[in-house]
Chain A
Amino acid sequence: MRRLAVQNLTGKPVRTAVLTVLAALLALAVFGGSLIVTSLRTGLHSLEDRLGADIMVVPYEATTKTNLEAIVLQGATGYFYMDNARAEKVLAREGIGQASEQFFLASASTGCCSLSVQIIGFDPQTDFSITPWIRRSFGGELQKYDVVVGNDLNAFVGDTLQFYGTEVHVAAKLAKTGTAYDTAVFTGEDTIKALIASSVERGMNQFTVDPDKVVSCILINAADGYTPEEVVNDINIHVKKVKAIQTKEMISGISDSLSGVRDVIGVLMAAVWVLGLAILLLAFTMSVNERRKEFAVLRVIGASRGMLAGLVLREALLTGVCGGMLGGVIGLAVIVPFNRAIEEQLGLPFLLPGAGTVIGYFAAAVILTALAGAAAAGIAALRISRMDTGLILRGDN
């Protein structure tokens, strides 16, 4: 009886192929949909981690001309500076817990294959947002002219890069975050000051600044007893020509789009499933009706009602498992290699979960599809197990 199910399926290759493809579609929908939604959620968490501070303070023009959000969220390049004196005023306000200064620079898009790259310098003494991340892939200390590159940069440990004629050395490559930081270069305060100096010397910086007297951005965590909102308001009211931004608000736009995408994917998945289940239900019912006589013959030679139902369910389960595997493999073959293209299309942080999670989703999709197949065949199985063999044989002629 076990082989009979397989033989019934291989005996009708076209019908079986159509049903398998349909099952593959169901699995693809649930696997692909949930993998994309999870990757977006992982990407958002990763972005929250990477921003790593409650508040960012930038010169006022960074909210108008060169947009901070474009740099942090969309991977655009840009830079802006404010005087140390202004930074001191900010740091003198009440309610400031941790604070660290950052320095921005964008490389010129010269050379054969380089687009402009965002360079972010941090102060190793005070930094609390970038160092923990670097620690995950690099244990040593950053020397002068050492840089750490984001995961999506086509540069490797030991490579030498040139920015404004100054050679720097790639000391480490960061783990993937699925955010705009994946295409940035990070370095210590002394290195970036040297790079800013060479850009100014060569007249390639749009500002004429003394790198020792400016900062680009201050990251702040609110002190105990203060909310980030209070600190932001305090700075914006009392310090001129700067803008304090709550990172949570910056991200809120992204989490809104994320829930929008999730809703769309949810509706699509539901539509595919409703339609697919209806077709499977119809197909299994028709296939069983078509073979009423064969089932009657099985009864005649001694198959019990349970065995007939088992045969129908086994055919459906086999179809579901094969189709589910096929759909899962197609999903993997599309989403994993093309995850960067998907990220580009969606314009949202996108980070694939670990291999274990992906395998778990794969298995869940296959099991769910097999169960759906069995459920769709359930009615047919029930009907065939209740049929009156005598009447079918008698009604034949």
Chain B
Amino acid sequence: MKQNEKTTRILSVILLILSAALMLGVKLVFHACGAKEDGSWMTCHWAENAVCASGAVMTVISVIALCLKGRARAGAAFSLVPAAVVTALLPQVCIRMCMMNDMRCHAMMRPAVILLCAVIGVLAAVTGVMANREEG
């Protein structure tokens, strides 16, 4: 069981890194389209902000998962799964994005967000199941 605790701890660290990558990356790396010439923002900018906020929440949950053990860690990890699903749906489904799909928000931000959220969701589920089997 000690081995198991070690594995879920490592998984929690990975979840933390990925959540932080989502929160920061959506602003810095795979950000949405920039401001228009007149300085106004297109809607994808608000999707970007929403993903960033959601990523911040997921980062906090990951920290909590890392600090806890056993069932408590499992609970925190499981709560990341719906959070990841919702975050993946923010761009375009919840907040409709720009007119053309070859624009940056469609070509870079959305796939990157979906990919990260998919990995986080699957890893979180695995972490939850494994941590749930731990004693205590």
A residues adjacent to B (C-beta < 8 A): 75, 112-115, 117, 151-155, 182-183, 333, 337-338, 340-341, 343-344
One of A152, A155, A337 near B102 (C-beta < 8 A): A152
| Cα distance A183–B100 in the bound complex, in angstroms | 6
- Chain A positions within 8 Å of B102 at CB level: 75, 152, 182-183, 340, 343-344
| Cα distance A153–B92 in the bound complex, in angstroms | 12
Given A75-B102, A112-B42, A113-B43: A338 touches B97 (CB 8 Å cut-off): no
- Chain B positions within 8 Å of A155 at CB level: 99
B residues adjacent to A (C-beta < 8 A): 40, 42-44, 92, 96-103, 106-108, 111-112, 114-115
Given A113-B44, A340-B107: A152 touches B115 (CB 8 Å cut-off): no
Cβ of B116 to closest chain A Cβ, rounded Å: 11
Residue of B whose beta carbon sits closest to that of A336: B111
- Are B115 and A333 in contact, with the CB atoms below 8 A? yes
- Chain B positions within 8 Å of A183 at CB level: 100-102
Q: A112-B40, A154-B101 are in contact. List 5 more A-B contacts (CB 8 A).
A: A112-B43, A152-B101, A153-B101, A337-B111, A340-B106
- Chosen A-B contacts, 15 in total, with CB atoms closer than 8 Å, are A112-B40, A112-B42, A151-B101, A152-B102, A153-B99, A153-B100, A153-B101, A154-B96, A183-B101, A338-B108, A340-B102, A341-B107, A341-B108, A343-B107, A344-B107
- Chain B positions within 8 Å of A114 at CB level: 98-99
- Chain A positions within 8 Å of B99 at CB level: 113-115, 117, 153-155
| Cα distance A153–B97 in the bound complex, in angstroms | 11
| Cα distance A119–B106 in the bound complex, in angstroms | 21
One of B100, B106, B111, B115 near A115 (C-beta < 8 A): B100
Cβ of A174 to closest chain B Cβ, rounded Å: 12
| Cα distance A115–B33 in the bound complex, in angstroms | 11
- Chain B positions within 8 Å of A340 at CB level: 101-102, 106-107
Most-contacted residue by chain B among A113, A154, A155, A340 (CB, 10 A): A113
- Chain B positions within 8 Å of A152 at CB level: 100-102, 106
Cβ of B45 to closest chain A Cβ, rounded Å: 9
- Chain A positions within 8 Å of B108 at CB level: 338, 341
Cβ of A85 to closest chain B Cβ, rounded Å: 36
- Chain B positions within 8 Å of A341 at CB level: 107-108, 111
- Are A154 and B100 in contact, with the CB atoms below 8 A? yes
- Chain A positions within 8 Å of B106 at CB level: 152, 154, 340
| Cα distance A153–B115 in the bound complex, in angstroms | 22
Cβ of A152 to closest chain B Cβ, rounded Å: 4
- Chain B positions within 8 Å of A151 at CB level: 101
- Are B107 and A154 in contact, with the CB atoms below 8 A? no
- Are B111 and A154 in contact, with the CB atoms below 8 A? no
| Cα distance A151–B96 in the bound complex, in angstroms | 16
Residue of B whose beta carbon sits closest to that of A116: B99
- Chain A positions within 8 Å of B92 at CB level: 154
Given A113-B97, A182-B101: A337 touches B42 (CB 8 Å cut-off): no
Residue of A whose beta carbon sits closest to that of B43: A113
Residue of B whose beta carbon sits closest to that of A176: B101
- Chain A positions within 8 Å of B96 at CB level: 113, 154
| Cα distance A186–B116 in the bound complex, in angstroms | 36
| Cα distance A151–B111 in the bound complex, in angstroms | 17
One of A117, A154, A337 near B97 (C-beta < 8 A): A154
Residue of B whose beta carbon sits closest to that of A183: B100
Cβ of B44 to closest chain A Cβ, rounded Å: 7
- Chain A positions within 8 Å of B43 at CB level: 112-113
- Chain B positions within 8 Å of A333 at CB level: 115
| Cα distance A341–B99 in the bound complex, in angstroms | 16
| Cα distance A154–B47 in the bound complex, in angstroms | 15
- Are A154 and B98 in contact, with the CB atoms below 8 A? yes
- Chain B positions within 8 Å of A182 at CB level: 101-102
Cβ of B1 to closest chain A Cβ, rounded Å: 20
- Chain A positions within 8 Å of B114 at CB level: 337
Residue of A whose beta carbon sits closest to that of B106: A340
- Chain A positions within 8 Å of B97 at CB level: 113, 154
- Are B103 and A115 in contact, with the CB atoms below 8 A? yes
- Chain B positions within 8 Å of A115 at CB level: 98-100, 103
